[in-house]
Amino acid sequence: MMPVRLGPLLLAHPIINASGTMEILDLAEVLGPDVLSVPPVAAYVPKTITMDARTGNPAPRILETPGGMINAIGLEGEGLKGFVADRLPRLLALPCPLIISIGGFSLDEYVGLAAGLREALEAALGDGWTAKAGLELNISCPNVHSGCVSIGSNPAETELVVGAVRKIWPGLLIAKLTPNVTDITAIARAAEAAGADAVAAVNTYKGLVIDRKTLRPYLGNVTGGLSGPAIKPLALRAVYELYETVGIPIVGMGGVATARDVLEFMACGAAAVAVGSAAFRDPSVGASLAVDLWDELTARGTSVADVVGVAHRPV
Ligand SMILES: Cc1cc2nc3c(=O)[nH]c(=O)nc-3n(C[C@H](O)[C@H](O)[C@H](O)COP(=O)(O)O)c2cc1C
């Protein structure tokens, strides 16, 4: 109906989830196993995994804000070994592609994570694994104090990390970009030059909230990442600028809650669109977005291919 190609992965439609905002295996325990046989997204992106298990940042780590939310989870998770043994086999059973998000604290960690996942995927699926699973390099988490976002804030380091992973990863390779830089297009150019198949934009905007009682920072980490409708115009600008800069597909995200939001990201140049914070209100929002997008396109007598980048064309 609305297929989208990202590198070697074919998605049935353009709606995916944003990493860290929908844990589909946990959801299945609450909503029942149907969510696993009919996932609400065209490709599933788990929360970023790291080399070692991490407990994340001190509480409090999340708060609703006007028009959005702020979080400072700090990449909590079971680490590569735990992921491969525990969740990967169950996620590979999903009837849609899997885009595994990884976050490292050094170049070696990114390469080690990619190598470990490649080995596990080859063992599970054989040669055909690149049609089932891709990689998203989270070089943009604002809530950890080394590696990750400092790599993704620097074009030269971005090129080194993406290039090193590219050498050992034949599957889909997405670089997820931070908006907390002066010029996001410089980072995207570096990722493209190093062989990324696509860029994803944006991760959260670094922010801070004050506890009204104590007048001190509310979050245990002091700062956090802002997401939700409040950031949509900022994210649209990022996608618009990226479309003018790189030739590879863009996965757009930031404040998507309705099919009209999806259309706006596509008009700016996104080939696929991820929904994040909105899934906290409605975990199946991805499925309704895909249906509503189809209705919107039909009502306008247009198609995904015609809409992507239309905002750049003269009226
Ligand atoms: C609670 C929470 C956790 C997140 N965890 C991750 C993560 O692990 N990896 C990542 O790349 N992005 C993470 N993000 C960022 C989202 O993937 C997305 O880029 C951002 O929230 C913007 O989309 P939205 O406005 O639709 O939420 C997280 C966001 C939230 C709200």
* Domain count across the chain: 1
Residue whose CA is closest, atom 7 of ligand 1? 20
Residue whose CA is closest, atom 5 of ligand 1? 20
96 is catalytic: no
Determine the Cα–Cα distance for residues 103 and 217; give it in Å rounded to an integer: 26
Measure 61 CA to ligand 1 centroid, in angstroms. 13
Output the pTM of the full model. Answer: 0.98
Which CATH number does the domain housing residue 257 bear?
A: 3.20.20.70
Closest ligand 1 atom to residue 277 Cα is 27
Determine the Cα–Cα distance for residues 166 and 179; give it in Å rounded to an integer: 23
Around ligand 1, the residues with Cβ closer than 6 Å are 18-21, 47-48, 62, 69, 71, 73, 101, 138, 141, 176, 203-204, 227-228, 231, 253-256, 275-277
pLDDT of residue 16: 98
Nearest to 57 by CA among 75, 38, 44, 41: 75
pLDDT of residue 31: 87
pLDDT of residue 14: 97
Q: Are 286 and 262 in contact (CB under 8 A)?
A: no
pLDDT of residue 267: 98
pLDDT of residue 149: 77
Q: Helix 155-168 crosses helix 184-193 at what angle (to 10 degrees)?
A: 30
Q: Which helix (H) or strand (E) holds 307?
A: helix 304-307
Q: Are 247 and 231 in contact (CB under 8 A)?
A: no
Question: Residue 63 burial by CB count (10 A; 0-12/13-18/19+): exposed, middle or buried?
Answer: middle
Q: Are 140 and 147 in contact (CB under 8 A)?
A: no
200 — phi, psi (to 5°)? Answer: -115, 135
Residue whose CA is closest, atom 16 of ligand 1? 18
Measure 313 CA to ligand 1 centroid, in angstroms. 30
Calculate the alpha carbon distances from 223 to 30, 184, 210, 253 in Å: 31, 21, 10, 21
Closest ligand 1 atom to residue 138 Cα is 11
> Which domain covers residue 296, as residue numbers?
4-312
Closest ligand 1 atom to residue 204 Cα is 20
Residues 6 or more apart whose CB falls under 8 angstroms from that of 299 comprise none
Q: Which helix (H) or strand (E) holds 291?
A: helix 285-300
Query: Hey, which of 203, 219, 239 would you mutate to test ligand 1's pocket, going by the most ligand atoms within 8 Å of its Cβ?
Result: 203
Nearest to 16 by CA among 48, 49, 50, 39: 39
Contacts of residues 119-122 at CB distance under 8 Å and 24 or more positions apart, as own/partner, are 120/84, 120/88, 121/92, 121/171
Measure 120 CA to ligand 1 centroid, in angstroms. 25
Measure 58 CA to ligand 1 centroid, in angstroms. 18
Measure 69 CA to ligand 1 centroid, in angstroms. 10
**pLDDT tens digit sequence for 21-55:** 999 999 999 889 999 999 999 999 999 999 999 99
Measure 50 CA to ligand 1 centroid, in angstroms. 15
pLDDT of residue 141: 83
Residue whose CA is closest, atom 10 of ligand 1? 19
At 32, list the tokens: 């029942």
Other CB atoms within 10 A of residue 150 CB: 14
DSSP per-residue string spanning 256-290: --SHHHHHHHHHHTEEEEEE-THHHH-TTHHHHHH
DSSP per-residue string spanning 7-66: TTEEESSSEEEPTTS--HHHHHHHH-THHHHS-SSSSB-PPPB-SS-B--SPSP-EEEET
Cα dihedral 198, 71, 104, 157, rounded to 10, equals: 60
118 — phi, psi (to 5°)? Answer: -60, -45
For each successive 10 residues of the chain (315 residues), what is the average pLDDT? 93 98 94 94 98 96 97 96 98 98 96 98 97 97 76 95 98 98 98 98 97 98 98 98 98 98 98 98 95 96 96 95
Residue whose CA is closest, atom 14 of ligand 1? 20
Nearest to 246 by CA among 181, 175, 164: 175
Residues 6 or more apart whose CB falls under 8 angstroms from that of 51 comprise 79, 80, 104, 105, 109, 112, 113
